[in-house]
Structure 1
């Protein structure tokens, strides 16, 4: 109850402050209008012809008699031409008046609210860019046109590919190569309403190996976003997301004696609010994620219980930015969350409940459309309830930049820092850092070449394990038509650990076909 009264008092104080600030501006506007009225009366003669010229829309009338005022008229040879009454009554700018409020940068405003509500989906997208299959970027004249469905534009697509992996199980010795097939499909939908917005992005894939069926993996990622425009400067945003994935081979947490990799299901959402005062953007969001580690089927027919890894993660995110100039908006952002496990004590006897914090400062870029995105530095930390588990903290580096080096070449840079859960031995968690560089070059409008470099560093805390993961890849995309693209990719994935028994190298080749509308 005291918190409610305090909030109401704060809003009342803000309202009184806004009214007090608006009263002098109203008085100033009234004085300006009176001054303009007097000037208008002095500028015209009382003859019927001049009075008619002020009231009529036609400007071709005789000049006023000699000696009449000239305010509100412009010279035209030996004749004078009266301006329209609306132009003559323009308020005079008093000395020292505050400059008018700058025009709203809608793109920057949208970026602000998207950044505060879509943090988890941005992290997934960054990891996909570094380690997943390289997405093909649309280019004119091969952009998909989509399908119009009422006030929505739908863009469905389907991909099918065949590949070869020299080490799909990420084995240190005696790797077992295998052919594989990958099927993927998705749908994006975007409203084109004059106010408010609703967008959806749904994609899923299935990878099937010929000789190592125990490594078959499904993937699903779905995001639904909505925006409510209360006014030009006040917006609400809502997001819901669903993700189904598995722990990849080579991950210390991935079980090795199961029939197939057990899935991990994440469901959640967030509600956000953003408002702009002049050049100042303020946004806040509250979110909740529910993470479930499904049980696995062991090779001996028994069930692997992983329920002790299930947890809920409520979070609060804040972000404030000030637009110094169009396209440059420095900001500060903070996120606070807690992870509350379904089982208070896990199978190893530890309490893994924890609280997390991220604080960072940076700036967004939109410089002549040549450099867009944002970059920030800060600090990330996670504190655990169990005193036997060491806390984790470190430098936070985040970036998502796109540089249009020329009309043919585009460079993308991504940096991500996160702290993820792990069941590896007695380790508290894993601090992950990801850096990714991607270069796209158009040899022709229908032929796009891509080079991809990625690095990930995994720090497993007090266990002493440190892993460096590298990916180097190249891709060619042949766009036969808007609806049909061909792709080919080769890449090498390497794990270099301070425990050499975990090292591995995998060479992957794939050709695919993409259908879209």
Structure 2
């Protein structure tokens, strides 16, 4: 009984001491709640915290997310020229660094394609680099930017080159684009600006002679704007306008004048998004190319555009596209520009977590302005990826391409490749 009474007395004494206000200079370990001797209750509670741990300015544990892959393939290719098949070894390295921030994110990537033919010739098919990102100024305004660089060299046995070409020219190209978009309620406005440069090296022939391709070197500038209006949730009507200026370094060797031009284009269309299952977009417009030299005829063209993405579940993805592009004529003698209509489709099917099947088809038709010449090609391909383990895939692909370019005879190209892909 005495022990119990003693405990009650001690507890009462403690409560009495805690209830008495602290005197001047008196230290109370637990604080008295008066906001005068508790450091965490002083200052601005939104920014000051004496006992808080500082957090880093980024949202992830590491500065970058790194994705990399290395594809090693062996294949056989018949270009349809009658020279017989060629055996190739192909390396496809790729690395990408990504970072997400509170207001956006950015990425940097580098990839390449290196080809070695068994008879001894090696070629760097392409080396590509890209860097870009986005930054949200506020909840309604977003800034974007991206730059690209590419060094490439075509296969000299392709349909675009004569049979006596030993090495196709090395092409260096770089471009950049900046843009800004603003949410205006039912309206959305996006503006963009771009600049680019493309430089061609020499063509080498079987007798070691060369030909100059300086007449294909160009500098490009462009501006554009897109205004969308949300008709209903998920359905947006839009108009898109742009103007692109293309300047050549030297005159065309066949026309003896520079092919500098300004191309104006306008499109109107609809974009529909149905959750994550289906997205559709279609547009129709008109393009007009104004050639600066008055001795050359300007031309106009109808511009078609369409895109569809259908993903009924996680195992199946279907995509399709129809595009219209106006570009430079290349080495085609007497032409002032090239107008291309192209259609493509892809399907991916995940059979199980280890096996993915792929297939694609393509068609394009090119018209050369200023001369009576057309080019048409179509083809298809199929492939499979088998997940050997977490970091390794086995791959197999087959592709077919038929090319018809007047007045040359048609060519049929077949290619089969198998290989392995290591990835993160």
Q: TM-score range by the shorter chain?
A: 0.7 to 0.9
Equivalent in the alignment of 2:11 = none
Equivalent in the alignment of 1:346 = 252
Equivalent residue for 2:376, pick from 442, 462, 468: 468
Equivalent in the alignment of 1:154 = 66
Equivalent in the alignment of 2:45 = none
Equivalent in the alignment of 1:204 = 112
Q: Which runs of 5+ in 2 are unaligned?
A: 1-59
Give me the whole-angstrom Cα distance separating, in 2, the residues matched to 1:149 and 1:244.
35
Equivalent residue for 2:175, pick from 268, 274, 278: 268
Equivalent in the alignment of 1:374 = 281
Give me the whole-angstrom Cα distance separating, in 1, the residues matched to 2:369 and 2:174.
28
C-alpha contact 1:153 1:190 (8 A) present in aligned 2: yes
Q: 1:481 to 1:252 in 2, by over 3 A?
A: closer
C-alpha contact 2:265 2:287 (8 A) present in aligned 1: yes
Q: CA deviation at 1:372?
A: 2.6
Q: 1:190 to 1:285 in 2, by over 3 A?
A: same
Q: Structure 1, residues 3-58: CA drift from partner, whole Å, max 9, x if none?
A: xxxxxxxxxxxxxxxxxxxxxxxxxxxxxxxxxxxxxxxxxxxxxxxxxxxxxxxx
Higher strand share: 2
SS of structure 1 residue aligned to 2:167: coil
Equivalent residue for 1:391, pick from 298, 307, 322: 298
SS of structure 2 residue aligned to 1:151: coil
Q: Higher mean Cα deviation, 184-193 or 249-258?
A: 249-258
Alignment of 1:57-68 (within 5 A): none
Equivalent in the alignment of 1:226 = 133
Equivalent in the alignment of 1:100 = none
Give me the whole-angstrom Cα distance separating, in 2, the residues matched to 1:400 and 1:491.
23
Equivalent in the alignment of 2:416 = 509
Give me the whole-angstrom Cα distance separating, in 2, the residues matched to 1:301 and 1:234.
56
Alignment of 1:71-470 (within 5 A): 150-167=62-79, 170-171=80-81, 174-211=82-119, 213=121, 216-247=123-154, 254=161, 257-343=164-250, 345-348=251-254, 349-372=256-279, 374-422=281-329, 423-470=331-378
C-alpha contact 2:159 2:411 (8 A) present in aligned 1: no
Give me the whole-angstrom Cα distance separating, in 2, the residues matched to 1:506 and 1:431.
24
Equivalent in the alignment of 1:60 = none
Q: Structure 1, residues 132-189: CA drift from partner, whole Å, max 9, x if none?
A: xxxxxxxxxxxxxxxx88332111111110111112xx52xx2321111111111222
Q: 1:301 to 1:166 in 2, by over 3 A?
A: closer
Give me the whole-angstrom Cα distance separating, in 1, the residues matched to 2:101 and 2:151.
31
Higher helix share: 1
- 1 or 2 for the larger relative contact order (CA 8 Å, sep ≥6)? 1
Q: 1:255 to 1:275 in 2, by over 3 A?
A: farther
TM-score calculated relative to the size of structure 1: 0.66
Q: CA deviation at 1:507?
A: 1.2
C-alpha contact 1:199 1:224 (8 A) present in aligned 2: yes
Equivalent in the alignment of 2:21 = none
Give me the whole-angstrom Cα distance separating, in 1, the residues matched to 2:245 and 2:162.
26
Q: Structure 1, residues 230-255: CA drift from partner, whole Å, max 9, x if none?
A: 11111221211112223455777646
Q: Structure 1, residues 175-219: CA drift from partner, whole Å, max 9, x if none?
A: 3211111111112222121113212232211122224838x3521
SS of structure 1 residue aligned to 2:231: coil
Give me the whole-angstrom Cα distance separating, in 1, the residues matched to 2:162 and 2:61.
45
SS of structure 2 residue aligned to 1:231: coil
Q: How many residues align?
A: 363
C-alpha contact 2:364 2:376 (8 A) present in aligned 1: yes
C-alpha contact 1:329 1:365 (8 A) present in aligned 2: yes
C-alpha contact 1:392 1:431 (8 A) present in aligned 2: no
Equivalent in the alignment of 1:496 = 404
Q: CA deviation at 1:494?
A: 0.5
Give me the whole-angstrom Cα distance separating, in 2, the residues matched to 1:454 and 1:202.
27
Q: 1:421 to 1:256 in 2, by over 3 A?
A: farther
RMSD between superposed Cα atoms in Å: 2.2
Give me the whole-angstrom Cα distance separating, in 2, the residues matched to 1:250 and 1:316.
37
SS of structure 2 residue aligned to 1:502: coil
Q: 1:250 to 1:281 in 2, by over 3 A?
A: farther
